[in-house]
């Protein structure tokens, strides 16, 4: 169970190859909780609920409930470290793209792939709760892509990426873009083994998002402000947004772009190309 939102780890997640239509369900028996109840000599009843992500101990002592929660990220971080080694051994730059729904991740990603396809080898792991709609958009660029549907889950985790990489099989010396499930909370908490986290914020969302969701912006090395072509039509204070982001994370790198008009994309592309060169 996700400590932040309560989503179940056993979320009927699956990997879909949009090219072949083949679906592979992701099962992890360690997600299944099991319970033990003990009665102490003084009559106290203690129930243990075990799960690889959460372990709670409820002790009913004179009507008082005590809940102890273990670090749910321990197993995830171990697999993430393995993923990181996998990427490093193949000289792959992996970016974890995160945003709220509708911020423009897929539009920016398809534009980036189309513009850089002759310069960089890019593969994509697409994360959504359901459908392969975004994977099909990515596939239309000629890019290799797999879809991970998380079911009731609100984020990708390291285990999903590990299994997805086996299906994707990205080439050496390339870039893997991981488009996470639209959510400004839980994806920030789960290390996937990526090189860098990139948070995408659109001008249609409000300039105060960095201080409303500080962990997301604090965890990210890069913020991409998208849909800036809409600035004449929305109430959005760009400078205030940048100040908020830097207040939360003074080191954050910021790009202002429009995937529709191409404004600001050159700087984003230069930065991305530099990541590939410096990774060698």
Residue 155 token pair: 């984020």
The Cα 57–Cα 193 span in angstroms is: 31
CATH of domain 74-279: 3.40.50.300
Domain map of the chain by residue range?
Answer: 33-66, 74-279
* Cα–Cα distance for residue pair 120/62, rounded to 1 Å: 64
pLDDT score for 27: 65
E strand map for the chain:
14-16, 23-25, 34-39, 45-50, 56-61, 64-66, 93-99, 122-128, 144-149, 175-179, 196-202, 222-226, 253-256
Predicted TM-score of the model (pTM): 0.81
pLDDT of residue 16: 86
What pLDDT sits at residue 49? 41
Cα–Cα distance for residue pair 159/178, rounded to 1 Å: 13
Q: What is the pLDDT of residue 2?
A: 60
Helices of type H across 100-202? 105-116, 133-139, 158-168
Whole-number pLDDT of residue 18: 85
Cβ proximity of 268 and 112 under 8 Å: yes
Measured in Å, how far apart are the chain's first and last C-alpha atoms?
38
Cβ atoms of 197 and 98 within 8 Å: the answer is yes
Q: What does DSSP say about strands 144-149 and 122-128: parallel, antiparallel, or unpaired?
A: parallel
Residue 232 CB contacts under 8 Å (≥ 6 apart), including other chains: none
| Residue 65 and residue 59 in contact, taking contact as beta carbons nearer than 8 Å | yes
Q: Which two tokens stand for residue 83?
A: 């993923």
Question: Which parts of the chain sit beneath pLDDT 50?
Answer: 1, 4, 8, 29-41, 43-70
8 A C-beta contact, residue 86 and residue 44 = no
Quote the DSSP letter at residue 187: G
Q: What is the pLDDT of residue 165?
A: 96
Per-residue confidence (pLDDT) for residue 40, from 0 to 100: 43
């Amino acid at each position: 169970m996700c400590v932040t939102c309560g989503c179940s780890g056993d979320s009927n997640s699956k990997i879909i190859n949009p090219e072949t239509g083949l679906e592979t369900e992701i099962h992890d028996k360690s997600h299944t909780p099991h319970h033990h109840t003990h009665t102490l000599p003084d009559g106290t009843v203690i129930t243990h609920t075990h799960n690889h992500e959460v372990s709670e101990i409820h002790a009913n002592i004179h009507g008082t409930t005590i809940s102890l929660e273990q670090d749910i990220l321990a197993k995830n971080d171990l697999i993430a470290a393995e993923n990181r080694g996998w990427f490093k051994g193949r000289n792959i730059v992996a970016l974890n793209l995160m945003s709220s729904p509708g911020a423009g991740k897929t539009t920016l990603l398809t534009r980036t792939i189309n513009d850089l396809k002759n310069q960089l080898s890019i593969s994509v792991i697409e994360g959504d709760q359901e459908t392969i709609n975004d994977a099909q958009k990515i596939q239309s660029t000629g890019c290799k892509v797999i879809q991970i549907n998380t079911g009731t889950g609100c984020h990708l985790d390291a285990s999903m990426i590990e299994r997805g990489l086996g299906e994707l099989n990205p080439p050496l010396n390339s870039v893997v873009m991981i488009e996470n499930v639209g959510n400004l909370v839980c994806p920030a908490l789960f290390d996937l083994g990526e090189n860098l986290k990139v948070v995408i914020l659109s001008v249609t969302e409000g300039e105060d998002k960095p201080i409303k969701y500080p962990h997301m912006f604090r965890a990210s090395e890069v913020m991409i402000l998208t849909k800036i072509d809409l600035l004449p039509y929305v109430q959005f204070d760009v400078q205030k947004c940048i100040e908020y982001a830097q207040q939360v994370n003074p080191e954050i790198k910021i790009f202002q772009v429009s995937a529709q008009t191409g404004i600001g994309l050159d700087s984003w592309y230069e930065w991305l190309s530099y990541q590939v060169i410096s990774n060698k």
